[in-house]
Structure 1
Amino acid sequence: MFEFFFYGLQQDIKLFLFFPILSAIFRTVFIKLYQPYPSFQGKSKALLACFRYGFWLGMDFNAYVFLASMILVSIPSAFFDFFQVHGLALRLGIGVIYAAILYAAFMGKMIFYRHFHDTFNYLVHMGKHAEKHNLVDVFFHQDHGLLILLGYIPYVPAVLLGCWVLQQIPSVGLPHFNSTIVQYIFNTGIFLLAILGFYWVRFGGTLNHRNKPEWDTIPSIVKEDAFLARACVDDLVALKWVRRKPLAEEMQQSDETLAEHITKIMPSEHTADWQALKSPLLAYQRVAQGPKIKKPQHVFFIVGESVPQWALDPLYAGLHVLDATKRFIANPHTMYFNHFLPAGNISRPSIVSLMTGIYDAQLELNEMEAFWHNTVPTSFAGQMKKLGYQTIYWYGGNASNGNFNHFGRAQGFDRVESATDFCGPQAPRTWVGVYDHVFLQEAAKRIKEIQEPTFHFVYTTSNHGPYKIEPVVLKFDKAIFDESIGSDIRDNEERCKALGTAHYADQAVNHFIDEIREAFPDSLILYTGDHSSLYAELGNSSLVPRDYMFRELYCTPLVIHHPQLSTDWFAKAEIGTHLNIIPTVLELIAPKGFTYYSLYPSLTQTQPKYLVTPKQWMTENEVGEVMSGMAERQGEASKEVREKYKPAVDTGCVLASDYVSLTAWLIRHADSCLEKNEAIF
C-alpha cells in the first residue's frame, strides 16, 4: 500500500519541478521585453542573483503544486485503485490548472507594466470601481487581449508535454526491511519528511518563517536595480503582497497614532489644539493678501487626461506632440510650472484631490456615501462659491461613473454636466467619454450663454487607451516629426497612434482655450494634467535609450494665464503640486482679508522645503518616490541615465504618510469632521 504512496510522492516532486522552470521562463521573457538597458554587459551577477532569489520567492506558491498532488493523488492512491490507474492524468490536470493561472497572472503583469511601468502594486485595488467596459475595451483593443487568450492554445499542450516528460523520469523503488517495525518507522519518516520538505521549500530553503524571502530581503545587488527588483518577484507573490497590504496602512492605525502623524503637519499655532476643532482642516485657515488681477467673470480650471511633463521637455521636442500647449506657454502672460506633481498617479484620486483640496490617497472618497452628502472646508468649488461664483463641473464622460454626480454636488458644484448627456447619444465617443473636440465645442457653446460669474472645472477624456480614435479625426501626420526621430518610433503604428491621440487632445484643449479667451478676454485659465502617462512607451528607444526618470513617470505641468498676469509673481515658487492650485487661484482673485482653507500655500508665496503627495515628494533639488524610498536629482529629461539613490533623510516619505493620515482621520471621523452640504438637500 505504501509503495503506491512512495511512487506517487516521487511523481509529485517531478510535477512540482516543472513550475520553477516555467517561472524562470516567464521571468526571462519579462526581462527581455522590458529591460531598460542598452545591453546586459556588467549585469551577469545581478541577473544571477535575480533568478536565484526569484526561484525561492516563487516557492511561496509553486510548493503548493507538490502539496496538492500529494493530497489529491498520492495519498488516495495508497487506498484506491482509481488513483493508481489515473495518477498521471490527474497530476497533468493539476499542472495545467496551475499553469493556466500562472499564464493569466504573467500576462496581467505584462499589461500592467506596459501601462504603469511597474509590476502589480496598489493600483490593482483601484480596479474594484473602475469602468469595467473600458477595462475590457483596453484589454482587447490596446493590449492584444484576443492574442493573449489564443495563446492558451499552444501554451496548454506545451505545459502538458513538459509535465509529461518530467513524469517519465525513472522512480526509485521503496526499500524493504525485514523488520516490520523498521519498515513502519521508515514509512512514517518518509511521510513526515515530505511534509517537512514542503515547508522547507515554501519558506525559501528554511524552516524558520521569519527568514522567509520577502521584499525587504532581496539581495542588495538586485534591489539597487529597480527593474531587476521588480523582475525578481513572481506574479502571484506580487498579487499576494498587494492583497495583503491595504490601500493605505494609515487606515489601520489607531487614533493616537494618526494624531501623532497629523500633529507633525499642523500649522504651529494649532499643534496643541487641533483636535478641539470641529475639523482638523480648519487649522489650515489662511487670509488672502489681496487680489493681483481684476476679478474675472469666468475662471476656467482645465484638467487634461494624461498630460505628462516629459512631452514638454526639450528632449522630446522633435515629436511635436504638445506644440499647441507650448504656444500657450509662450504667451508673456502665461506662467508655466515644469516641476509639478499630480495628486494621484491615476485619474480618480487626482480629480478627487483637486475637488476636495485633500489627498484622496487611493482611499476612493468619491465612493463613500459620507462624501456624497457632506463637504470639507478646503473644497475648490465650495470656496469659489464664497467669492460669488456659480460652479460647474464639465466632464467629457459620464459623471455617474465613480459617483461623481453625487460627489461633485456635495463638494460644492452647482451643476455636474456629463458630455454623454449634453453632447447627445450620437456623439462619437470612446469607452471613457466623448471625443475631446466634440465635448469641448459643445461645452464652449453652452458656456458662452452664461452671463453670471462662473467657475468651470473642465475635465477631458480622449487621451486614454485604447487609442481607437479614427485617423480622420486625429489628423495626425508623421511628417511633423523632426528628422532626429528614429524609425523605431516613426514606423511603429502603435506608438504613432498614441502620439497622434495626445497631439489631437492637445489641439482640442488649446482650441477651447483660444475660443474662451476670445469670448471672455478677462478669464483666468489654469491647465494641468490629471497625471503623467508613458504613452508611446518610448523608454529604451532611439530617442530615450534608458529607463524612465521619476520626472517622466509622475510629473505633469501647470499652466496659468490671465491678461494681467506677471510671471514675477511666482518667483518664490519653483516647485508645486495639485494642492497648490486652489490657494493660487484664491490669492489671485480674492479680496484682501478673505479667509480660505488650504493644506499648502499659493504658488505666489514661498513653498515648504518638501512638497509631498501620497506617492511622491519633491524639493527644489530632488524628486522622490515613496514606495521605493528612492530619489533622483531634479531636472529636465535628458538622454543620460538619471541615477536613483537613497536620500540622506526620509523626510519626504514620512510627510507623505502624515498627509494620508489626515485623510484617514477625516474618513474615520466623518460624522463630526465633515460639513453637511445643505445645497443638495
Structure 2
Amino acid sequence: MSINFPTRLSWENFHRVIVEGLKVYAFYLAVLSLFRLFFILWLNDYWGPQTNSADIVLALWRGSRLSMQTAGGLTLLSFVPAFTAHYLLPKIEKYLWLGINGLLLMALSIFYMASFPYYRIYRMNFNQMIFTGMNEDWGALFWTMVDQYALPARFAGAMLLAFVLWYLLRRLLIWQMPLLPIAHWPLWGKLVIRAAFLALVYVAVLLGIFGGSLGWQTAVDWENAGVTKDEFLNEAILDNPQAIYRAYNLNSRMLACNGLDFTMEDIQQLAANLSGKPADTNNLDVYLQRTVVQGTEQPPRHVFVILSESLANWPLLDKYKDIPIAEDLRGLVAAEDTDYCPTFLPNGASTVSAVTGSVAGVADANLYLTTMPESFAAPYPTASAPQMAKLGYETNFFYAGPATWERIGAFTQAQGFQHFYSRGDFGDVPGSVWGCEDECLYANIMERLTAAPSFNIILNASNHSPYDVDVEAKGFDKEKVRAALPAAYQQDEELLRELGHYWYAQRELVKFVREVKAKYPDSLFVIVGDHGDRYNIEKQPDMYARYGIPFIVTGKNIHKGTLLADSAGSQIDIFPTLMELTAPKGTGYMALGQSLTTTSTKGVNYGFWITRTAIGKADTVPLVPEAIADGETPVIDDQAMQDYINAIRAISWWRPKYGPILDQKILDEKGR
C-alpha cells in the first residue's frame, strides 16, 4: 500500500497537502496526550494525598493545550520540507513525511521511556540537570543507566514504541478523508467551503502557536502551565519536549546571567549590606573581608569536611527515628563533643555545586566553575584551601571517583589544594563507575594521615546510583527496615536498596570519624550532605524533608551549644564556621558566607532559603514561608531575606567571572 500525492497546481492539490499536515498535527497531539495520561496513571504513587479526579482532568486538559504548541512545532519540522517537495520534487515528498516523522517519533519515544526513571530520581520532568549531565563522565553515566535503569531494555522498548507509532502514522497518511462533492456546486458555495477550511487551518495554527489559545493573553506555556495543587501533576502537564525546552531556557538564562539583572550599583549596595560596611568602594573584595570573632588558641590538628553523597537530613528527624537506617549518625549527633544544625541547605542540586561551595566558597549562581577558565587562573579569595594553608595546615582533597569527573582534580588544585587523591591513587578497590566503596576510601585516607596538621575535604560516592554495594552482606538488615516502613512502601525493593546505601554510607562515615578520633583526639569534623534531593520515604515530601541536609560538627573544641541555637545556613557557610573553630580571635580571612557559631541564622542556595523555623522558594515575590515544624507558619523579614538572597547571588555571579572590580566596562567587554 502506498501513499499517493497529487502534483498539479490546483486548490485540490493545495488542500490535499494541508490536510496531510493537519493529520500529522492531530497525530502528535494524540500521542503526547496519551503519553501524559499513561505517565500520570503509571506513577500514581506520586500523587499528593489530596489529589482527586478533578485535578487529573485539569492536568490532562491543561497539558493537551500545551501540547498543541509542541505538536505544531513537531509538525512544522516535516511539513515545511514536504510542502516544498510537494511542488518541486514530488517523488521524494512521501519519504520526507515518513522519514522525518520517523526520526521525531524515535526521539519522542526515547525521551518518554527515559522520563519515568528521571522523575523518580529528580521528582521533576526533564530539568536543568540534563545540561549538568553534559559535563559528567559519560562512561559512568552509560554504565549507571545500564546497571540500574535497564538501558538496553528501555531502549528496545522505545524503538518498538517508535515503530508502532510510525506505522500508525503511515496508515493515517494513507487514509484519504472523504471530500465533499462540491465539484458541481456554484462558485459561492465552493468559496464558503474553502473559506471554512482556511479558517480551520488558521485556528489550528493559532492553537499551535499560543498553546491551546487564540492569542498570547491566554496562552499556555511552560511557565504558567502548572495550575493544580499537586506538584507531580504540574510536572506531568509538561510533555517531554516542553520540559526539555524549559530546561534549555533556564540553562540559557543561567549561562547568559539573564536571571541576574543587577546593575553595578545594585551589587555594590547589596555587598555593603551583607558586610555591614559603607558602600564606598567598587572593590568587592573589601566587602568579603571577615574577622574571626571568637576563635581558639588551641586549634585542632586535623580538620575534615566530609561531603557525603546524598546524605539527606530527613532520616535524622524524629518522624523517621524508628526506621533503622541512621542509627550510627544519630549516635554521633547525641555525643557530647558534637553539635548539629538541622536547617542547612546544599549549594545546588548536584555534587559539583557542593564542591564549588566548599572549595571556592561561592554560591551556585549561574556559573559552572569547574569548566570556567577563570577558575584555573588563580584561587578565588574566598577559596578555603589557601586560607587554611596560612594557618599551617597541609591541604588535601580526597575523592572516591576519577580525577577527570567535572575536572575535579584540576579544579581543586587550581583552587589551592596541595594534594588531590582519587580512585586511581587507591589501587584495585571495589566500587561502582562513580567511585570506590566508602570503606576503601576511608581506609586509604587513614593510611595517608600523619601527625602533621592537615585540612581535608572528602567526597565519597557509595550512596549513589547504581546502588550496587552488597549492603546486606555488609550487615544491612533489610527485613527490619522493611517492617519499619509504612505499609504502602514495604514492597518497594528499589527504595529498600536506596535506604540500604544510606545506612552503609552513614555507618562507614561514623566508623571513620571514631577511628580518627581514637588516633588523633584533637581532630575536628564537619559533616554535610553534598545534596539531599534524591529519594525519600514519601512520594511527595515537604520542602524541608526533600531538600535539607545535616550540618554536623564534632571533635576538638566542640560541645552542645557551639552552634547558635537558631543557626541555619548553606555550604558557603562551612568555611567561615571552620575559621571560628580553628583560627585565633582577630584573624582576617575572606568569605562570602557566615559562621554558624556567631552569625549565620539563614541559608540560601540556587532555589531556596531556610531559617530555623521556615523554608521557602527563593524566587517568589513575596517570599512564602513553609513551616519546618507543625504549628503556625512563621513570619520572616521579607525584605531582609530578599536582600540576602540577592547579595549572595550577585556576588557569586560577578566575582568568579569578572573579578573584584565592579565596572560596567568589564561586563561590556566580556559580554554576558
Deviation per residue, 1:284-335 (Å, 9 max, x gap): 3222234347212111221111100011112222331121111111111100
Alignment match, 2:30: 21
Q: Secondary structure at the match of 2:397?
A: strand
- Higher mean alpha-carbon deviation, 319-328 vs 254-263, is at 254-263
- Higher mean alpha-carbon deviation, 54-63 vs 239-248, is at 239-248
Residue identity opposite 2:209 in structure 1:
R
C-alpha separation between the residues in 2 aligned to 1:260 and 1:373? 27
Whether contact under 8 Å (1:113, 1:119) holds in the other structure is yes
Whether contact under 8 Å (2:396, 2:420) holds in the other structure is yes
Residue identity opposite 1:505 in structure 2:
A
Deviation per residue, 1:626-675 (Å, 9 max, x gap): 35777553436x9xxx99999995765664344222122124423869xx
Alignment match, 1:510: 510
TM-aligned CA deviation for residue 192 of structure 1 = 8.7
**Superposition pairs of residues 463-502 of structure 1, within 5 angstroms:** 463-471=463-471, 474-481=474-481, 483-486=483-486, 489-502=489-502
Match of 2:606 among 605, 614, 625: 614
TM-aligned CA deviation for residue 68 of structure 1 = 4.6
Deviation per residue, 1:540-599 (Å, 9 max, x gap): 4xxxxxx11111221110111125422223244332222222111111221122112222
Whether contact under 8 Å (2:577, 2:594) holds in the other structure is yes
TM-aligned CA deviation for residue 70 of structure 1 = 4.2
Residue 415 of structure 2 is aligned to residue 422 of structure 1: no
C-alpha separation between the residues in 1 aligned to 2:211 and 2:137? 39
TM-aligned CA deviation for residue 97 of structure 1 = 2.9
Match of 1:233 among 214, 228, 238: 238
Whether contact under 8 Å (2:65, 2:213) holds in the other structure is no
> CA 1:432–1:248 in structure 2 vs 1: closer, same or farther (change >3 Å)?
same
Alignment match, 2:553: 560
Whether contact under 8 Å (1:282, 1:377) holds in the other structure is no
Match of 1:136 among 138, 142, 159: 142
Alignment match, 2:461: 461
C-alpha separation between the residues in 2 aligned to 1:583 and 1:452? 23
C-alpha separation between the residues in 1 aligned to 2:641 and 2:126? 23
Alignment match, 2:70: 61
Residue identity opposite 1:434 in structure 2:
C
- Higher mean alpha-carbon deviation, 195-204 vs 496-505, is at 195-204
C-alpha separation between the residues in 2 aligned to 1:207 and 1:490? 49
Deviation per residue, 1:93-131 (Å, 9 max, x gap): 444333222222223332322111112222222122111
> CA 1:523–1:21 in structure 2 vs 1: closer, same or farther (change >3 Å)?
same
Residue identity opposite 1:579 in structure 2:
I
TM-aligned CA deviation for residue 158 of structure 1 = 3.1
Structure 1 length-normalised TM: 0.86
C-alpha separation between the residues in 1 aligned to 2:552 and 2:87? 74
- Higher mean alpha-carbon deviation, 377-386 vs 171-180, is at 171-180
TM-aligned CA deviation for residue 149 of structure 1 = 0.8
Deviation per residue, 1:193-227 (Å, 9 max, x gap): 7467424433234454465322444374x2x4332
Structure 2 length-normalised TM: 0.87
C-alpha separation between the residues in 2 aligned to 1:253 and 1:364? 15
TM-aligned CA deviation for residue 53 of structure 1 = 2.0
**Superposition pairs of residues 397-408 of structure 1, within 5 angstroms:** 397-408=401-412
Residue identity opposite 2:537 in structure 1:
L
- Higher mean alpha-carbon deviation, 626-635 vs 173-182, is at 173-182
C-alpha separation between the residues in 2 aligned to 1:290 and 1:314? 32
TM-aligned CA deviation for residue 191 of structure 1 = 6.6
Residue 557 of structure 2 is aligned to residue 550 of structure 1: no
- Higher mean alpha-carbon deviation, 153-162 vs 135-144, is at 153-162
> CA 1:61–1:353 in structure 2 vs 1: closer, same or farther (change >3 Å)?
same
**Superposition pairs of residues 632-671 of structure 1, within 5 angstroms:** 633-635=626-628, 649=638, 652=641, 655-670=644-659
Residue 354 of structure 2 is aligned to residue 345 of structure 1: no
C-alpha separation between the residues in 2 aligned to 1:36 and 1:648? 37
> CA 1:196–1:49 in structure 2 vs 1: closer, same or farther (change >3 Å)?
closer
> CA 1:32–1:616 in structure 2 vs 1: closer, same or farther (change >3 Å)?
same
Deviation per residue, 1:258-304 (Å, 9 max, x gap): 541452243465442241x2xx1331322223434721211122111
C-alpha separation between the residues in 2 aligned to 1:595 and 1:81? 77
C-alpha separation between the residues in 2 aligned to 1:269 and 1:160? 64
- Higher mean alpha-carbon deviation, 298-307 vs 484-493, is at 484-493
Whether contact under 8 Å (2:66, 2:212) holds in the other structure is no
Residue 128 of structure 2 is aligned to residue 122 of structure 1: yes
Q: Secondary structure at the match of 2:41?
A: helix
Residue 114 of structure 2 is aligned to residue 108 of structure 1: yes
Match of 2:444 among 430, 435, 442: 442
Deviation per residue, 1:371-405 (Å, 9 max, x gap): 11311222211211121111111111223322222
Q: Structure 1 unaligned segments of length 5 or more: list them.
A: 541-546, 674-681
C-alpha separation between the residues in 2 aligned to 1:110 and 1:645? 36
Alignment match, 2:529: 529
Q: Secondary structure at the match of 1:243?
A: helix
Alignment match, 1:676: none
Alignment match, 1:52: 61
C-alpha separation between the residues in 1 aligned to 2:432 and 2:296? 41
Alignment match, 1:539: 538
Whether contact under 8 Å (1:138, 1:465) holds in the other structure is yes
Q: Secondary structure at the match of 1:151?
A: helix
TM-aligned CA deviation for residue 453 of structure 1 = 1.3
C-alpha separation between the residues in 2 aligned to 1:618 and 1:524? 26
Alignment match, 1:597: 590
TM-aligned CA deviation for residue 412 of structure 1 = 2.0
Q: Secondary structure at the match of 2:561?
A: helix
Report percent identity of matched pairs: 23
Whether contact under 8 Å (1:321, 1:503) holds in the other structure is yes
Whether contact under 8 Å (2:339, 2:561) holds in the other structure is no
> CA 1:562–1:65 in structure 2 vs 1: closer, same or farther (change >3 Å)?
closer
**Superposition pairs of residues 110-509 of structure 1, within 5 angstroms:** 110-164=116-170, 166-167=172-173, 168=175, 170-173=177-180, 175-176=182-183, 194=201, 197-206=204-213, 208-209=215-216, 211-218=218-225, 220=227, 222=228, 224-245=229-250, 246=252, 248=254, 251-252=257-258, 257-266=263-272, 267=274, 269-275=276-282, 277=283, 280-292=284-296, 294-418=298-422, 420-424=423-427, 426-447=428-449, 450-471=450-471, 474-481=474-481, 483-486=483-486, 489-509=489-509
TM-aligned CA deviation for residue 255 of structure 1 = 8.8
Whether contact under 8 Å (1:395, 1:458) holds in the other structure is yes
> CA 1:625–1:179 in structure 2 vs 1: closer, same or farther (change >3 Å)?
same
TM-aligned CA deviation for residue 178 of structure 1 = 7.9
Residue identity opposite 2:291 in structure 1:
V
C-alpha separation between the residues in 2 aligned to 1:472 and 1:42? 37
Q: Secondary structure at the match of 2:553?
A: strand
Q: Structure 2 unaligned segments of length 5 or more: list them.
A: 1-7, 663-672
Residue identity opposite 1:421 in structure 2:
G
C-alpha separation between the residues in 1 aligned to 2:24 and 2:181? 19
C-alpha separation between the residues in 2 aligned to 1:45 and 1:255? 39
Whether contact under 8 Å (1:357, 1:378) holds in the other structure is yes
C-alpha separation between the residues in 2 aligned to 1:68 and 1:269? 56
Residue identity opposite 1:436 in structure 2:
D
- RMSD of the alignment, in Å? 3.4
C-alpha separation between the residues in 1 aligned to 2:435 and 2:148? 17
Q: Secondary structure at the match of 1:445?
A: helix
Q: Secondary structure at the match of 2:581?
A: helix
